[in-house]
Chains A and B, each alone.
Chain A
Amino acid sequence: MTVVTAIDVSGLTKSFGGRKVVDDVALKVAEGEIAGFLGPNGSGKTTCIRMICGLLTPDAGSGTVLGLDVRRDQRAIRRQVGYMTQRFSFYEDLSIEENLGFVAGLYGLPRQAVRDTLEDLGLTARRAQLAGSLSGGWKQRLALAACIMHQPRLLLLDEPTAGVDPKARRQFWDEIHARALSGMTVLVSTHYMDEAERCHRINYIAYGRLVVSGTVAKVIAGAGLITMTVQSPRPGALAERLRKAPGVGQVEPFGTSLHVTGPDRARLEAALAAEGVSGQPVETSLEDVFIRLMDQSQDNMQ
């Protein structure tokens, strides 16, 4: 047992009220890896995460989480997993320290664990403050503190940085990377592209299906997209025309320039030439890839 797969599930399926929310999803996350979980709203990310941590029972599918059966060993899985919910779910009428004390009690941790965690995450000075009076960034720190206090082997984060300012986000990610270095596996769902790029591997899910997974570079390369940047004095009008041109996928304004993306280089250049402009090739962004993936899977659904 040298390399254990922290998450190895396949065929995960879950329906709510006759609607398939998660459909035949297979997910592999190696131990110590930070895996990004991306996809549009309502694509089934939260449902997947809940199935992995034992909060939902899959309709179909099987696999292991930390070597434990995802269907049978839900209780044992809960003990070794830290799950940070999308919505802040600690007690607003309890102080930071009281919230952590409650969690410590549930996991059977000594009081020292609370003090250590407070210190670790820089919460000591605010420990007496009520959770309800904390700003978004501090709430998120408290939530993170509470779900890593019992030293879980697997950390599941469901859109942890929504509504958090950039500095707090950066600190948060530094924390996540530090934990990964010490061997914790992390599965994090996010809508932020810069966060996706901080992950070792990303998994893209749309309409309940896993569409692509791999390293950021591999996902971008695999999409086979060409992106050109075009300067224009009136980028708005140009963008309108380019969007209708054949061979052009997405046109995104970046200040006074446009990022024009398409699957075929020759047709893209032809479209630009037809408008009397020329473009400089630039790297395709992850966002462009995702928007294309989203459009494609939408087409597949119809």
Chain B
Amino acid sequence: MSLSLTRLWAILRKEFIQMRRDRVTFAMMLGVPIMQLLLFGYAINSDPRHMPTALIAPVQDQFSRSLVAALENSGYYRITHPDAQPSEAERLIAQGKVSFVVTVPADFGQRLLRGERAQVLVEADGSDPTATSGAIAALGGIAESAFRRDLAVPEAAGPEIVVHRRYNPEGITHYNIVPGLLGVILQMTMVMMTAMALTREIERGTMENLLAMPATAAEIMLGKIAPFLGVGAVQVLVILGVAWALFDVPFMGLPALLLAGVMVFVLALVLLGYLISTVARTQMQAMQIAIFVFLPSILLSGFMFPFRGMPGWAQMLGELLPVTHLLRLVRGIMLKGAGLPDVLAQFGALSVMVVVLGALALLRFRRTLD
């Protein structure tokens, strides 16, 4: 065993030349880490603030106003629906449009002045416990600052804030994580498998032959993605079965609605993968692009970090990811028992993605070798 510097140098040089020739890989190695560092560094915030809140306060007096001011001053709450009806508030929290519903009873002010027990109800969307925990923890200080100083409220009888964690009273994180994993696991496997669809043909040299025969772009696309829809369906059943049997994740909504939603998501994923395979020239590139898409899908979708914690531009990016909509759909149906009207927006977003991705893939597909 001897180490020859000449031989070592020859190998090193060859590797560098090849690295330089493979532009895409090179760009991935240098550009992607920087981009992702900046992107995720600025986007991710595990302590989200300014979360949309609905306020139910039949009597809008100085007491409810100072409570609202204290909530907003804490930085955690943003009253988006200042005069909500109970039924409306229920719908808003079920659809995930607000994270909190604050109810101030009509006799709240009177009770405070009389020194009686005065309660405020804060209902939190517990389907994502990490997103709301910071805001809930801040409530104690809020109550204090709201009434102790300015108003002539008797010392002993400060208001009591009652917190209800809806949908997940114990704040069990895997109620949130397991449905999310469904989306993330599907994203990883479906996109990667289909991203190889065309590049494999190109690398094995069978593409030329396939193109020389009379098959249309749509036939090739549908023929290639259909098997993966089947694979995806099996995966969905397995993951849901495990979630139900091993993790005791509650199953509130209609299973058929859930399955329908997830299958639209899977269709969007296989089309995304297929689109990648029309762009990539080698299987290696296809892999890299799939991973490139995968990272934001876990970081910006609300899977790992609260969606509401991200700045506006990052939320907009997140809205472009199929997983984001799937997470809302699955959490809505499984944990909140949402019905079709509640998740119609998610169905719509995923369907638009299916159409756009399919059209792009067909446009990208070259029927000739030009």
Interface residues in chain A, defined as those with a beta carbon under 8 Å from any beta carbon in chain B? 50, 53-57, 74-75, 78-79, 81, 83, 85, 87-92, 103, 106-107
**A55 x B369 contact (CB < 8 A):** yes
Are B214 and A55 within 8 A (Cβ)? Answer: no
Mask of B180-222 contacts with A, CB within 8 angstroms, 1/0: 0000000000000000000000001111110111110000000
Return chain A residues, CB-CB under 8 Å to B214: 75, 78-79, 106-107
- Residues of B in contact, count (CB < 8 Å): 15
> A85 to B368, Cβ gap below 8 A?
no
Task: List the count of A-B residue pairs having beta carbons below 8 Å apart.
Answer: 48
Distance of A55 Cα from B366 Cα, bound (Å): 10
Per-position binary interface string of chain B over residues 59-83, scored 1 when its CB falls under 8 Å from any chain A CB and 0 otherwise: 0000000000000000000000000
A103, B368: Cα distance in complex, Å: 18
Interface SS of chain B: loop
CA distance in complex: A79, B204 (Å): 23
Q: Is there contact, CB below 8 Å, between B213 and A55?
A: no
Task: Indicate with 1 or 0, residue by residue over B214-236, a CB within 8 angstroms of chain A CB atoms.
Answer: 11000000000000000000000
What is the CA–CA distance of A85 and B213 in the complex, to the nearest angstrom? 12
4 additional A-B pairs beyond A78-B213, A85-B209, A85-B212, beta carbons within 8 Å, are A54-B368, A89-B204, A89-B206, A89-B207
Contact status B204-A103, CB under 8 Å: no
B370 within 8 A of partner (CB): yes
The one of B208, B215, B367, B370 that contacts A89, using a Cβ cutoff of 8 Å: B208
By a CB distance below 8 angstroms, the chain B residues around A79 are 214
Question: Taking CB as reference atom, which chain A residue is nearest B213?
Answer: A106
Q: Are B370 and A107 in contact (CB under 8 A)?
A: no
Task: Please list 20 pairs of residues, one from A and one from B, whose beta carbons are closer than 8 Å in the complex, sorted by A's number.
Answer: A53-B212, A55-B368, A56-B370, A57-B370, A74-B368, A75-B214, A78-B213, A78-B214, A83-B209, A85-B205, A87-B208, A89-B205, A89-B207, A90-B206, A92-B204, A106-B213, A106-B214, A106-B215, A107-B213, A107-B214
Please name all residues of chain A whose beta carbon is closer than 8 Å to the beta carbon of B205 when the two chains form the complex: 85, 87-89
**A57 near B208 (CB under 8 angstroms)?**
no
Interface residues of B in 257-279 (CB under 8 A from A): none
State A81–B204 Cα separation when bound (angstroms).
23
Residues from chain B with Cβ under 8 Å of A92 in the complex: 204
Flag if A91 contacts B206 (CB, 8 Å). yes
**If A87-B205, A88-B205, A91-B206 touch, does A78 touch B370 (CB 8 Å cutoff)?**
no
Shortest distance in angstroms between A74's beta carbon and chain B's nearest beta carbon? Answer: 7
- Whether B209 lies near A89 (C-beta < 8 A) is yes
Chain A neighbourhood of B369, CB < 8 A: 50, 55-56
Find chain A residues with CB under 8 A from B206 CB: 89-91
Rounded to whole Å, the gap between the CB of A148 and the closest CB of chain B is: 13
Asked if residues B211 and A55 are in contact (CB atoms below 8 Å), the reply is yes
Closest to B369 in A: A55
Inter-chain CA distance A106–B209, complex, in Å, is 12
> A90 to B206, alpha carbons, bound, how many Å?
6
Residues in B with CB closer than 8 Å to A54 are: 212, 368
Name the distance in Å between A111's Cβ and chain B's nearest Cβ.
17
Contacts of A89 in B (CB 8 A): 204-209
Residues of A with C-beta under 8 A to B215: 106
**Chain A residues in 8 Å Cβ range of B204:** 89, 91-92
| A53 CB contacts on chain B under 8 angstroms | 212
Which residues of the partner chain A approach B368 to less than 8 Å between Cβ atoms?
A: 54-57, 74
Q: In B87-146, which residues have CB < 8 Å from any A CB?
A: none
CB of A281 to closest CB in B, whole Å: 46
Bound-state Cα–Cα, A78 to B206, Å: 16
B205, B214, B367, most chain A CB atoms within 10 A: B214
